[in-house]
Amino acid sequence: MNCGLLSGLNEPVPLKSISVEVRVQDHVASVSSTLQYVNEEQRPLEALFVFPLPADAAVCHFSAKIGEQEIVAELQDKETAKDQYDDAVSSGQQAFLLEESAESPDVFRLSVGCLSPGQNAAVTIIYITELAVQADQSLRFCLPAVLNPRYTPAGSDAGIVSEISSVSGAAPYSLTLSVHVSSPKPISKLESNCTLDPLVFLCSDHTQATVNLSPGHMFDRDVELFLYYQDTHQPSAVVEAGVATAPSDSLMRNPVVMISLYPEFPEEVMSSMATQGEFVFVMDRSGSMSGMMRGKEAQNRIESAKDTLLLLLKSLPMGCYFNIYGFGSRFKSFFPKSVEYNQDKMDQALKEVKEMRADMGGTEILQPLKHIYSQPCIPEHPRQLFIFTDGAVGNTKEVLDLVKSHAHSHRCFSFGIGEGASTALITGLAREGSGHAQFITGSERMQPKVMESLRFALQPIVSNISVDWTLPEGVTAETVAPPIDVLFQGQRTLIYAQLKGNSLGGSEGSVTVKYNLNSQPVTNQLHFCIKPTEETGLVVHRLAARTMIRSLEQKERSSAESESLRSSIVELSVQAGVSSVHTAFIGINKDTKQTVKGPLQQRRVPTYERTSDYHYFYPPQAERREKRCYRLAPPERREKLCYRSAPPDDRMREHCNFASRRERREKLCYRSAPPADWLSFDCVDDEVETQGSEDCVAEKSVCNRLPLRKAAPELQQDLLLPLVSLQKASGCWELDAALAAVLGKTEDELTNQKPAQVDGSVWATLLALIWLYSWRKEQQVEWQFVAQKAAAWITSEKVGDLSQCVCVGNVLLGCQVTKDSLGI
């Protein structure tokens, strides 16, 4: 008889709860997760748990507590640790193994061996991570809870990522989370995508606070926290003392300094928008992009992406070049090569964007990237790559190595859409491509974040970056991270350096960053005290070690001297106590007096998988792709649905695309809706594509008795995108009925009120600007470049005094803006 909590496979789940304590110090978080295991079966168990961590996390502690006995794991060479674990488990000893995936650094596997019947074990994992700065200057902390299956192309070795076990319903274990925040600057507020208890300040100056996650978190989303400090963008430095017992001259022996810089570019450089560049937009069109985001007012992924492409195309400057790629199991581009941005090409692209569907299979991003990089760069037009994906791939490191090898020729801006997007892939693309990463989750709009990245892309490229240190005599600084190759206005840049010398004392030092911006030399400098800070828990050292390890791992994959680099990685990893791809934490209960007898039952602990109401599976080989509609539903309702199980290796998402006419697919499993929106189960008869359909349907009844979507009440249309869609590539609008309808007027009203000294296009463009600045001011980040183009176009027309025209426009539209506020 089964007892306790059950997985989706109707097996008991030995993991009962996860308790997380987070301590945030300025922009660094230390995270301690305790996983409580209980064997409620009548036989000994081995539990396997494949779970996500932040891609840049430095895992630095692993221990297990059985009763009153604590076992602290050691960090060893991975192969040695795995052999020890296997030997211990086979001999009946309790053992614990924590290892990082070789394919993706944001996926870990925890093995808990030889849990006796009725036995409890509390496993604790500690890691540290830097908090990313957001566009609104908040700091983002993310506790990953969702882990989606990773798409693995045919012939690839999936390793740990192929072992991901997931459920789409409530995860069979609970989560508690407490957060303690301390900062040199007052804490303004704390926001989250999840429900929190009230924030409690611990001191009158608001530099310390605590908050807890409200009970009942269902693991259906990652837990995101956004911390707001006063003056969060101020440069800072932390000098941390080393370990006296560490080997001489090693990273852990000497003090390490962490410098946080926020470059401020001259206003005269930032006031002008770049008019050159090759903008390549790469859009995920795999089956999962048809799903919905989570939360109130959530959007369909592919529709939101299409709206975003519209906004991007309207925001590009005249004279640049562009192209759009869609990818899944295959890829295609709108144009054979990037084309010059003009009205004709923009119209052609928008027509194809309108027809885009999430109908291209799996998430194979490597081939389109190879094709893009094979295209010659356009002189005087720096290549800017924008990659949108909601998925995760099994060959993450291969993709990142490819981007790294072409870093000299482009910048890469990446966007993770929805819960469970791989942090290793999204942040890695931006890091290796000298760009910027964004995550769009819950009911967040994609457009503001994408336009923020476009603002970065339109900034002048910084060149000739150098870092100089001014330190007391006898003290030197050795930078441990790769050299800085990208700087953006207002974005934090971290520098780690090892300080060597005997006279650190309380002296002062400085670091100077020099670079060229639009051929102008710029200097940023920070003075700091080089006296080491004690009792910091080696956070700075371990973050520096993590940075060095990732750099060495990347070199190893592309170097002929891989064996020597592997030895260096293992040595640094063990010395610093920070995990790597070649090391693993191993803990064995050697003090137990009684070994576990009998064969072990293996139990896989599932994570929550972000999914729509339907799963779509297909084998890696396109020519063998059989279309299956797999519906996750309570058992009592499955007979009404198209339920089809497939071997794990074949499980990939695809549209259940059996209808012969696209307009009827909304009655099939192409359309997903939350249970609250289900109207009824209705049998839909249609002609069936015969090829590949026999696995899913027996007769002409397709996806028998699928739920239909309830007719939603008509919502008030957001007029921003309709207005933007009418703008010409040059930046102007035409005076016509379409514009009048968006502005809530008739064409005659617009024409009759037009001042005599301006022509129709100038008048129409003025009205559009007045409307934007009056009625969509809160969304200015989305239309800022659209407005800049419009203002530049009006200025180029050399119209006389426009102040009277603006006054007439204000009266017509019921607004109150000035000519100067329009940027004219």
Domains contained in the chain, CATH given: 15-228+582-592 (2.60.40), 270-457 (3.40.50.410), 613-709 (no CATH), 720-822 (no CATH)
Could you tell me the two tokens for 24?
């945030």
What are 612-668's pLDDT values in tens digits?
A: 333 333 333 332 233 323 333 333 333 333 333 333 333 333 333 333 333 333 333
| pLDDT under 70: residue ranges of the chain | 1-12, 148-158, 160-170, 269-274, 294-298, 503-506, 534, 536, 592-594, 596-599, 608-717
- What stretch of H or E contains 824? none
d(Cα 143, Cα 506) in Å, to the nearest integer? 38
Q: Are 281 and 323 in contact (CB under 8 A)?
A: yes
Half-sphere exposure of 23 (CA within 13 A, CB side): 8
d(Cα 152, Cα 396) in Å, to the nearest integer? 10
Instruction: Indicate the Cα dihedral angle 295, 297, 303, 309, nearest 10°.
Output: -100
Amino acid at 527: H
Residue 522, Cβ density class (10 Å: 0-12 exposed, 13-18 middle, ≥19 buried): middle
Rounded to 5 degrees, what angle do the CA atoms 266, 271, 276 make?
105
Nearest Cα to Cα of residue 488 among 460, 448, 466, 520: 460
The whole-number pLDDT of residue 683 equals 29
Q: Are 27 and 131 in contact (CB under 8 A)?
A: yes
d(Cα 480, Cα 498) in Å, to the nearest integer? 7
The whole-number pLDDT of residue 685 equals 30
Q: How far from chain centre, in Å, is Cα 469?
A: 34
Nearest Cα to Cα of residue 535 among 25, 22, 32: 25
Q: How far from chain centre, in Å, is Cα 37?
A: 30
Give whole-number Cα distances, 634 to 174, 606, 641, in Å: 21, 18, 11
How many residues in total does the chain contain? 824
Nearest Cα to Cα of residue 111 among 64, 57, 158: 64
Residue 433, Cβ density class (10 Å: 0-12 exposed, 13-18 middle, ≥19 buried): buried
Q: Pairing relation of β-strands 95-100 and 107-115? A: antiparallel
> Which residues have a Cβ under 8 Å from the Cβ of 609 and sit 6 or more positions away?
146, 147, 148, 149, 166, 167, 168, 420
Could you tell me the two tokens for 50?
């494949």
- What stretch of H or E contains 508? strand 508-517
* Beta strand extents in 452-504 (DSSP E only): 462-470, 476-479, 493-500
Radius of gyration (C-alpha) of the chain in whole angstroms:
29
Residue 711, Cβ neighbours under 10 Å: how many?
8
The whole-number pLDDT of residue 133 equals 84
For residue 284, list its beta bridge partners. Answer: 327
Could you tell me the two tokens for 521?
């030399």
Q: Roughly how many angstroms between the first and final C-alpha of the chain, as a whole number?
A: 76
Residue 693, Cβ neighbours under 10 Å: how many?
18
Could you tell me the two tokens for 97?
């193994």
Could you tell me the two tokens for 749?
């009203």
Q: Which residue has the tokens 């990142």?
A: 400
d(Cα 407, Cα 460) in Å, to the nearest integer? 16
